[in-house]
A and B are shown apart, each in its own frame.
Chain A
């Protein structure tokens, strides 16, 4: 079973690939990881928390909450 860090990397890549084309919601990332790796919600939550806590992703609000790369894009 993939670790929290591996799931976090998977989520980060999804956000990176979608940047500028589509805004992704935390629930969307969670569903995708659960389908791809068969992990549970708790692991996905921990992965999102790790991504946000270390500054690799940030929350944004545009009529709903999304996860994005930070403005400078290099974290």
Chain B
């Protein structure tokens, strides 16, 4: 049967220009999939009338799991019957998003068989996102995914799929093995990932260095960001080469250093490592000349969130330096303390960052049994933790 043709003058505008267009991709799927075809029609109507015609949530999922499926329904099922159900499935991505071509083909085959064929590689959560599934197709899709070695990710009030940068697989700046920590945490928190039991969502994100390529500091409840304790390694010959090749070291490196910890006399670069803020700017500017130190590990931060409308919070330092060593029990024990407290005292839909703001960082640290120390900061060179015991005040 021929597919109903939807006129899309407004969407067509989004195909113009030099960038890839999601409209083109939907059209490709629409030529052979009636869900994608109706999606195209609904989207055009949404652009025309400036209304999103979707409902979200409800009781929908696969047997035994409370996460991984986000229910979506169109408000106009008579007009667009093929997207009456258009659920999203989150599929747990491999750490660092490393795939074989065979794995990608399998994923696409599964999704063309059961769903709209449209994917989002990857969603802002980091998951592989399958867009558009009917309720009846959820279990068969899940069965095929597990057969191919994949599992659903997190959604709702649970541990969201842990996510990391590509780390030591391809990046020379990685200060710890983000892939290993992410895989380990994903396996350790399977129950919490699939069975929502928290006041609200909980995100782990692992970045290998302070460049923080997964933006964990801005959006993860627990951000694990690689760093080093010793001195930045300098190859003075390479610094000289950068200068000879036209890099204005004074203007583009020294003047942009937030710690003002560098000096350049035209021949030698010196760094006062005690005042270095580990921002990575100089290393990014001269990657052949500068490298992080060799005593590497990670900073563990807590409490960020990045909602769409308002209320963003940036993480605060929780553990100034953590040496990641399998099985990472020291950090997992600390996470258990925090999660227990949050589950006990947190309000519904209150992220851990909001909880800490409500009870105060001092009280929070006291409750989880973590000694405050000066290196726990919200911002570099900022010390927000001043404690007065009652006895001292008297």
Contacts and interface: CB of A to CB of B under 8 A. Distances in A.
A64 B64 contact: no
B59 A58 contact: yes
Contacts of B61: 58-59
Nearest to B343: A27
B173 interface: no
Interface in B181-222: 191, 195-200
B349 interface: yes
B70 interface: yes
A6 B317 CA distance: 43
Interface range, A side: 20 to 34
Contacts of A25: 157, 199, 348
Contacts of A52: 64, 66, 195
A36 to B, nearest CB: 16
B391 interface: no
A54 to B, nearest CB: 9
A27 B170 CA distance: 41
A59 to B, nearest CB: 3
Contact of B348 (A53, A58, A64): A64
A41 to B, nearest CB: 8
Among A26, A41, A65, A68, chain B packs the most CB atoms within 10 A around the CB of: A65
Contacts of B155: 61
B57 interface: yes
A49 interface: yes
B168 to A, nearest CB: 35
B348 A49 contact: no
A48 B348 contact: no
Contact of B349 (A30, A58, A64): A64
Contact of B195 (A48, A60, A68): A48
Interface residues of B, number: 27
Interface in A18-34: 25-27, 30-31
Nearest to A63: B349
A25 B200 CA distance: 10
B191 A61 contact: no
Contacts of A60: 57-59
Interface in B52-87: 57-59, 61, 63-67, 70-71
B303 interface: no
A60 to B, nearest CB: 4
Contact of B156 (A27, A30, A59): A59
B196 to A, nearest CB: 3
B191 to A, nearest CB: 7
Given A45-B197, A48-B195, A55-B63, A64 B58 contact: no
Nearest to A48: B195
A61 B57 contact: yes
Contacts of B200: 64
Contacts of B59: 58-60, 68, 70-71
A65 B63 contact: no
Contacts of A41: 340
B127 interface: no
B269 to A, nearest CB: 53
Contacts of A63: 57, 349
A71 B61 CA distance: 13
9 contacts: A27-B198, A27-B199, A31-B344, A49-B195, A59-B156, A59-B196, A61-B70, A64-B157, A68-B59
Interface of B: 57-59, 61, 63-67, 70-71, 155-158, 191, 195-200, 340, 343-344, 348-349
Given A25-B348, A31-B344, A65-B196, 6 more contacts: A26-B196, A53-B64, A58-B59, A59-B196, A62-B58, A64-B349
Interface of A: 25-27, 30-31, 41, 45, 48-49, 52-53, 55, 58-65, 68, 70-71
> Closest 9 A-B residue pairs measured CB to CB?
A59-B66, A65-B196, A65-B156, A65-B157, A26-B197, A60-B59, A61-B57, A61-B156, A53-B64
